[in-house]
Amino acid sequence: MTHSLSVIILAAGKGTRMKSSKPKVLQTLAAKPLLTHVLDTCAQLETDKTIVVYGFGGNQVQAAMTDYALTWVEQTEQLGTGHAVKVTLDELPQDGESLILYGDVPLVSETTLTQLVTANTSGMSMLTLTVDNPFGLGRIKRDDANNIVAIVEQKDANEAEQAINEINSGIYCVDNALLHKYLPKLSNDNAQGEYYLTDIVKMAVADGIKIAAIEPEDEFEIEGVNNRQQLANLERRWQAKLVEDLQVQGVQFADPARVDIRGQVEAGQDVFVDTNVVFQGHCQIGNNVTIESGCIIKDSVIGDNTHLKPYCVLDEAKLGNQVTVGPFAHLRPKTELANNSKIGNFVETKKSQIGEGSKVNHLSYIGDAQVGKQVNIGAGTITCNYDGVNKSQTTIGDEAFIGSNSSLVAPVTIGKTATVGAGSVITKDVDDHALGVARGKQVQKDNYKRPTKNK
């Protein structure tokens, strides 16, 4: 048997029960479309071709998946799972084997799919699951030698068959030659008038093919999504799994149920994550990091012994070791904080490098700036980096002191150990070791009468 592997993903359903203008496979779980979860898992396998069967909202689905090399096949009529696979035959290679997956079953793992492919030594393997309550699901019927002989639907099952706890997931690995042989023979002579994919199991058994079966490690791997409630339940189960994996690595969560991971988190040991923290994209966290309540961290790197106080937002930021941030700080893209630096209350930074030991403590905006070591930036300081057309750079040398409520109008350079007087609007460079002051002259009018309201 050739090692060529194709993937067929059924993604044509409308998802009427979602009550949405979006196709079901574009509904999001962990901030990612359901179909994207499946495609990202398949990308970890060595596949030769991925065929996606689309239907309702096909233009939306295709537009959302342009990052993937896919073969698209339209199912113009919804005539069952067997029909959905059948419409791929013109695109499906004659040799090799295919995984049959579903765009609304997002969490089947790469490990499970690899095992399923490995198990297919005779022409067909399938993913099954033993559950406590199989009501409503297709049962896997086996003979005395434990060979699969049939899939029996709930409505057709007798009392003995209803007692079976092994159920069908609908996920298969099948030799392409068998798909080309069996799918044209499918019949819709049933109460629903649909072509059932499960009928290929019956055909394989009739041909004497021994069907292999494996079970996934986690039950949620075969769970599909049909409505908002199921989507929310699956979200929580997936989040619990992601949190559990981080706990194994040494991360402590104040409440594992009150954290969301919408991407990938790599973390060291003795990390503490408080409640209502959200991770997005790819986040890297060092050792002994404390992240307090309400922080949102996206595509950021956080060094060892760093402390994020409550309600900080990090977006593509890079933090060194022993950094303190917040509370209520906003670190925008291309912010870099060196070791032992500090960003305080209600401070916003953007495209700036803050040097080792430097502090921006209160109510300040630092954008397009290069800040040296051991710099103190007073409360209310802003770098005026935008003239309405262009962004310009502010450079602040080592050990400079910027007084409170100062405006540094870029492009401008503040020298090493220079001082800017509080309340200054600095439009010219300040030399090393110098004091720069730019204020209007204070005027006093004695016996000043305040204005009064007109009667």
Residues carrying an active site annotation: 362
Pairwise CA distance, residues 7 & 38, whole Å: 10
Q: CB neighbours of 308 closer than 8 A, spacing ≥ 6? A: 289, 290, 291, 292, 295, 297, 302, 314, 325, 326
Pairwise CA distance, residues 112 & 38, whole Å: 13
Which H, E and C letters describe the chain, residue by residue?
CCCCEEEEEEECCCCHHHCCCCCHHHCEECCEEHHHHHHHHHCCCCCCEEEEEEECEHHHHHHHCCCCCCEEEECCCCCCHHHHHHCCCCCCCCCCEEEEEECCCCCCCHHHHHHHHHHCCCCEEEEEEECCCCCCCCEEEECCCCCEEEEECHHHCCHHHHCCCEEEEEEEEEEHHHHHHHHHHCCCCCCCCCCCCCHHHHHHHHCCCCCEEECCCCHHHHCCCCCHHHHHHHHHHHHHHHHHHHHHHCEEECCCCCEEEEEEEEECCCEEECCCEEEEEEEEECCCCEECCCCEEECCEECCCCEECCCCEEECEEECCCCEECCCCEECCCEEECCCCEEEECCEEECCEECCCCEEEECCEEECEEECCCCEECCCCEEECECCCCECCEEECCCCEECCCCEEECCEEECCCCEECCCCEECCCECCCCEECCCCCCCCCCCCCCCCCCC
Pairwise CA distance, residues 432 & 193, whole Å: 85
